Amino acid sequence: MIPIIGLKTTNKFETRAGTQIIGFINDDINPQIFNYVRKLERDYPKAIPRSDISSNYNCHGLIFSSRRCFIDNISYIPTILKEDQYQKIDDIKEVRPGDIIIYSDNTGIVHSGIVITKPDRNNLFNPDIISKWSNFKEYIHPANHCPYSLNSERQYFRIYK
C-alpha cells in the first residue's frame, strides 16, 4: 500500500444484487517497491511470480473485479460473498480449482486468492493459490506460504450457480 497519494480513477461495479462496489486504479508504481520485492521473494521461495509489479489492483480486485481495481474497503467483501451467492466450503477435501480462499485474522479479512489445485495428502491439504500481494506481483503459492498466512484463518468459498 502505502498511504496514499496519486489517486487516478475510480472503478465501480455491482454485485449480483446491485450493490455498488468502488475500487481504485493507479498505474503509478513506487520505484522503491523493486528494492523490497527481492527480499519478499527470498522470504517466500515457493511463491512463483506470474505477473509484473502493479498497483492497479490488489488481491480482492483480482478476484472480485477481474483485476480492474484496488479494493481496500473490507466491508465490501462480506457483501460481495453474500450477494454473489458464494457458499462456504466446510470440508477441505471438497475444495476444487476455481474456488476462492479468504484469509482473516482478528481484525478481519486480510487477503484472498483463487484455488488452482486440489488439496490432498500430497500437499498436506494446502492447495496452490493464485493471489495478488497488494502492490507487488501475482504469485502462485501454497495456501500456507504467503505473507498473510501466519496467524490467519483460511476459509474457502464457491459459487454454485
Partner 1 sequence: MIDLNKLDIEHLTQIALLSNTPNYFFSNFYEDASIELISELYNTEELISSFNEILEKKNKTLEDFVHLYGILFALFHKPYQEIEGFLGHLDEISVTWLNYFINYYNIYLNRPLSTATIDYKPRPPIISIQTYVKGNG
| Selected binder of partner 1 within 14, 28, 94, 120 (CB under 8 A) | 28
Bridge-based pairing state of the strands 86-89 and 100-105 = unpaired
Using CB under 8 A as the binding rule, the residues of this chain from 65 to 104 that contact partner 1 are: 70, 72-74
Residues 101-130 that bind partner 1 (CB under 8 A): 105-111
> With binding defined as CB under 8 A, does residue 33 bind partner 1?
yes
Question: Binding of partner 1 at residue 64 (CB under 8 A)?
Answer: no
3-state secondary structure the chain: CCCCCCCCEEEEEECCCCCEEEEEECCCCCCCHHHHHHHHHHHCCCCEECCCCCCCCCHHHHHHCCCCCECCCCCHHHHHHHHCCEEEECCHHHCCCCCEEEEEECCEEEEEEEECCCCCCCCCCCCEEEEECCCCCEEEEECCCCCCCCCCEEEEEEECC
Kindly tell me which residue out of 64, 136, 156, 157 binds partner 1, with binding defined by CB under 8 A.
Answer: 136
Nearer CB in complex with partner 1: 37/48: 37
Q: Which stretch binds partner 1 (CB under 8 A): 79-87, 88-96, 115-123, 131-139?
A: 131-139
* Distance (Å, whole) CA 61 – CA 16: 16
60 binds partner 1 (CB under 8 A): yes
| Other beta carbons less than 10 A from residue 69's beta carbon | 25
Choice between 29 and 116, CB closer to partner 1: 29
Binder of partner 1 out of 148, 149, 156, 157 (CB under 8 A): 148
Of 126 and 149, CB closest to partner 1: 149
Q: What residue ranges bind partner 1 (CB under 8 A)?
A: 1-8, 22, 24-26, 28-33, 36, 39-40, 55, 58-60, 70, 72-74, 105-111, 132-136, 147-148
